[in-house]
């Protein structure tokens, strides 16, 4: 039995439209089954986790580098105040999500709102081939061509 509601999330957003509308329009010969969306979501969440882990690791390395450059860690007993002042000065811990993290979060947000697969600019459906290649794509090919052409 095919579940059509496993990927639907109750929210105040529009009803989910991705895959269901194109499937009904094409007389049920869906290009991709509805259940695929939960797989796409899972893959994006995994990628988000991996990217965040990598970013935090990189941030820790940068903190250590800053402290080393400013000779704080080479001091026999660096005071917490000294360490903290370097961290504040260098803004090395300032939270700034990377573009890939932002794209993943936005795609997951669109999925929650039922707007996944729809162009954020014109509302047209983005082709399934495009989404399978990169689920974080947010523009249809027409709008993408307009933006970069
Ligand atoms: Zn568009």
Tens of pLDDT, residue by residue over 55-109, are 889 888 988 888 888 877 677 777 888 888 888 888 877 878 889 999 999 999 9
| Overall domain count for the chain | 2
Looking at the structure, tell me whether residues 65 and 99 fall in a common domain.
Answer: yes
Domain that includes residue 131, residue range: 118-149
Looking at the structure, tell me whether residues 108 and 46 fall in a common domain.
Answer: yes
Instruction: Kindly state whether residue 11 falls inside one of the protein's structural domains.
Output: no
From ligand 1's centre to the CA of 123, what distance in Å?
6
From ligand 1's centre to the CA of 13, what distance in Å?
20
**Distance of CA 88 to CAs 58, 65, 93, 98, Å?**
17, 14, 8, 20
Instruction: Kindly state whether residue 76 falls inside one of the protein's structural domains.
Output: yes
Q: Look at the pTM and tell me if it is higher than 0.75.
A: no
Both tokens of 2, joined, read 């095919």
From ligand 1's centre to the CA of 147, what distance in Å?
10
| Cα angle, residue 14 at apex, residues 12 and 17 outer, rounded to 5° | 140
Looking at the structure, tell me whether residues 47 and 74 fall in a common domain.
Answer: yes
Tell me what pLDDT residue 3 has: 42
Side-chain half-sphere CA neighbours of 118 within 13 A: 22
From ligand 1's centre to the CA of 144, what distance in Å?
7
From ligand 1's centre to the CA of 149, what distance in Å?
14
Tell me what pLDDT residue 4 has: 43
Closest CA to 98 of 56, 36, 35, 67: 56
Both tokens of 129, joined, read 């081939």
Looking at the structure, tell me whether residues 57 and 106 fall in a common domain.
Answer: yes
Instruction: Kindly state whether residue 143 falls inside one of the protein's structural domains.
Output: yes
Looking at the structure, tell me whether residues 41 and 92 fall in a common domain.
Answer: yes
Backbone angles phi, psi at 4, to 5 degrees: -105, 0
Both tokens of 113, joined, read 């709102």
């Amino acid at each position: 039995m095919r579940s059509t509601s496993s990927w639907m999330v109750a929210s105040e957003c529009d009803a989910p439209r991705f895959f269901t509308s194109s499937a009904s329009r094409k007389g049920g010969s869906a290009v991709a089954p509805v259940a695929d969306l939960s797989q796409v979501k899972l893959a994006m969440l995994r990628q988000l986790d991996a990217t965040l882990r990598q970013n935090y690791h990189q941030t820790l390395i940068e903190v250590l580098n800053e402290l080393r450059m400013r000779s704080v860690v080479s001091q026999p007993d660096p005071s917490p105040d000294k360490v903290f002042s370097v961290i504040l000065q260098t803004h090395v811990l300032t939270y700034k999500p990377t573009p890939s993290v932002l794209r993943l979060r936005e795609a997951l947000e669109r999925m929650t709102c039922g707007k996944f697969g729809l162009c954020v600019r014109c509302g047209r459906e983005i082709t399934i081939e495009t989404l399978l290649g990169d689920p974080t794509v947010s523009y249809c090919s027409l709008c993408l061509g307009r933006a970069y052409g």
